[in-house]
Amino acid sequence: MKISRIAATGAVAASAVLVLSGPAFAHVSVQPEGEAAKGGYATVDFKVPNERDDASTTKLEVNFPTDHPLASVMPEPVAGWTAKVTKSKLDKPLELHGETISEAVTKVTWTATGKGIQPGFFQKFPLSIGALPEDADELVFKAIQTYDNKEVVRWIEEQKEGEEEPENPAPVLALSAATEEGHHGATGTATPSDDASNASAEQAAATEVTSASTDSSDTTARVLGVVGIVVGVAGVAYGVLAGRRRTNA
């Protein structure tokens, strides 16, 4: 019985080791920094994990949707990488927010200038994009990941409703409901004039509090001074009367 239990325990432990040492099934994904509201602008991060133990990721190519083209795409500098934005003419110009768009960004390519994403690490590639479409709930980006051993992984499979996640799913950006602030960019951002006004108001309030505290302190000191004088006079008068009584006695 003891031998059987030991064997069973060893089998379970071996299975756990195999599970833990297996692939993490991570894939290229995209997430907004904050909110990606319809009709607005957003900063999004493409997160790229390295899924290999013996190779580094040295190139990432992200293809943009052509059914909902984005006119403005600006990459944030990433240390150790160069970014190239590719624009193409549209077959049919589009009207976006009252403007005619004849070309749009179709691809952004990041290329490592150094070692790239080494095994056991991941990298984020930020982009500022807009204006986001108002007639879509999500945007699908197709990504191609290249390793330094020339291996290429295509994250281009779209999720179909009611089916399991594909083996190499394409990054999908979910869009939130449009907001009034969303049409103008970041939400709830204070302007320098607002900050100055707030600072002036806070300074004025602090001055009033300080002034009130000073006035209160002066009044208290005066009251205490008068009380002290009265008590002193009363003490002197009591001493004089007591002296007279003793003399008469």
36-58 confidence digits (pLDDT tens): 999 999 999 999 999 999 999 99
Instruction: Return d(Cα 133, Cα 117) in angstroms, integer.
Output: 32
Examine the pLDDT at 13 and tell me if it is beyond 60: no
| pLDDT, tens digit (0-9, with 9 covering 90-100), for 98-123 | 778 889 999 999 999 999 999 999 99
| pLDDT, tens digit (0-9, with 9 covering 90-100), for 158-216 | 988 888 989 999 999 999 998 765 444 443 333 334 444 444 444 444 444 344 444 44
What token pair was written down for 142? 């197709």
Instruction: Return d(Cα 76, Cα 46) in angstroms, integer.
Output: 11
Instruction: Return d(Cα 108, Cα 125) in angstroms, integer.
Output: 10
Weakest mean pLDDT among 148-162, 200-214, 215-229: 200-214
Instruction: Return d(Cα 26, Cα 49) in angstroms, integer.
Output: 7
Name every residue whose Cβ is closer than 8 Å to that of residue 48 and which is 6 or more positions away in sequence: 28, 57, 60, 117, 122, 123, 124, 125, 143, 145
What integer pLDDT is reported at residue 168 of this predicted model?
Answer: 95
pLDDT > 90 fraction of the chain, expressed in percent and rounded: 51
* Higher per-residue confidence, 161 vs 32: 32
